[in-house]
Every structure is written in C-alpha cells, then in structure tokens.
Amino acid sequence: MTWHRSVAGLRTVGVSLGHREAGTADHWILSLDPAPTLACTHLVRSPFPHVAISLQGVSDLPSPAELQPAAAEAAAGKFGRAVVFPGSPDLTGTLTVGDVLARSAIDRVEVLGSGVAPAEQTLDTRDFVRPQFRGDDLVLVTMPAVGGVLVPFETRDPTPCCADHG
C-alpha cells in the first residue's frame, strides 16, 4: 500500500543528536511521545560519521548547533531507513509478503540478490522491520532463512566488531 511521504501532508523535521549507531537512534525514536507518523534514520558523514533522524508528525526538535547541517541533511534525505512508518506496529510475527504490503506503507519486498519477493512467500518479521526509502518507494529487503521463510535483511543484534567470539 502506498503512502507517499508527501501524501501525509506533513512537514519533515530533521534532528541530529550525534548517535553513532542506528540502534541508539532507533531507541531514541521509539521513546518519542507522542510517536511520530514517520521516522527515518540517515547515515551522514559530517561533522563526523553518525546517524541523523528525520521525523513527520512531531513539532520541531532542537539539534546542537554543530549538528544542524546534519539535521537538515536528514530532513532532505531520500534514502532514509524507516523505523516508524504507517502500519509499522502491525508488522510483527510471521506474515506473508502480501500481508506486509497490505498492512503497511511498504511498497515492495525484495530478496537480497534475487529481485522481488512473491506475495505468497512467508516472512518472519522477527518483530524488527526497517525498510528503506529509494526515492518515493519504501522497500524492505529480505533474505532466505532457516525453514524456507524470509527474514528482514537487517538483524536486531549484528555481530559487533571484535566480538567475544566464544
């Protein structure tokens, strides 16, 4: 189902608090009350590599002066990774690709390296769905997983650098 970003008719607010990791930016976004209608993370390089945020459905939020350009970059960003989006609370448990398209603003589900996923394919959301905008399209990239299901490309807890591998 398509909800173009502009269709919501809401102003996009950029904010940058210098989060180094997407996970901490996600946490900040999910603690907002009232919740935004759309919230995305954006990877920015300046003044240092960090994660900036764009929001719709909230009033202006201040960013530190040195991060205001990053906040503006996020507000204008076309490739945001969506943390909150229309229908996102309903994407839990195991669904079909068709369910995902019907219930949420996600426009397309793809399989990494293999193109568009068929509507009847089963997707285990693992309760962690982070689609990404490509222009006006919100795309969820998935991968095959154990048991012949798809799972989102992004995992909640990726192996950190120099993990304790035991």
Partner 1 sequence: MGHGHDHDHSLSPDLPSGGDVPPALDLSVPDSELSPSDVSRRGFLRGAGLLGAGAAASVLATPSPASASAPESHSHAGGLRWLAGDHHIHTQYSSDGQYRVIDQARHGRAFGLDWVVITDHGSVAHAKIGVEKVNPDIRATREELKDLLTFQGLEWNIPAAEHATVFVAPSKHEVDVLKQFEQTYEGSLLPATNTPEQNEAAAIAGIKFLASQVQARKVDGALFLANHPARRGIDSPHEIRNWRDADPTVAIGFEGAPGHQAAGIPAPYGRGGARGYYDNNPSAASFAGYPLESYRTWGGFDWMTATVGGLWDSLLAEGKAWWITVNSDSHVNYLDQSDRGPDSNFDVNGKHNDPVHTGKTLTTAGDFWPGFYGRTNVGASAFGYKAVMDGLRAGRVWVDHGRLIKGLDARVRTAGDRRWSTGTPLGGVLHTKRGTSTELTLDIDLQDVPNWAQFVAVLKRVDVIVGTVTGPVSDRDAFTAPNTKVVKSFEISKTSGRIALTCSLGRLDKPFYVRVRGTDGNRTQPGLMGASVDPHGPKLDVIGDADPWGDLWFYTNPIWVLPK
Token pair recorded at residue 4: 């173009």
Token pair recorded at residue 48: 């240092």
Angle, CA of 139, 118 and 106, to the nearest 5°? 25
Q: In the complex with partner 1, which residue's Cβ is closer, 98 or 144?
A: 144
Judged by CB under 8 A, the chain residues 127 through 146 that form the site for partner 1 are: 141, 143-146
Peptide bond into 47 cis (omega under 30): yes
| Binds partner 1 (CB under 8 A): choice among 33, 34, 45, 59 | 45
Site membership for partner 1, residue 123 (CB under 8 A): no
Angle, CA of 63, 12 and 126, to the nearest 5°? 90
**Judged by CB under 8 A, which stretch of 31-39, 87-95, 96-104, 112-120 contacts partner 1?**
112-120
Nearest distance, CB of residue 46 and partner 1, angstroms = 10
What Cα–Cα distance (Å) separates residue 68 from each residue in 3, 88, 115? 28, 28, 37
What Cα–Cα distance (Å) separates residue 134 from each residue in 79, 106, 120, 140? 5, 11, 23, 10
**Judged by CB under 8 A, which stretch of 6-14, 38-46, 57-65, 87-95 contacts partner 1?**
38-46
| Binds partner 1 (CB under 8 A): choice among 12, 28, 48, 137 | 48
The rounded distance, in Å, linking the Cα atoms of 136 and 105 is 11
Q: Between 53 and 92, how does the x/- string for binding to partner 1 read (CB under 8 A)?
A: ----------------------------------------
Given the rule CB under 8 A, which residues bind partner 1? Answer: 20-22, 43-45, 48-51, 112-114, 141, 143-146, 151, 153-155, 158-159, 161-166
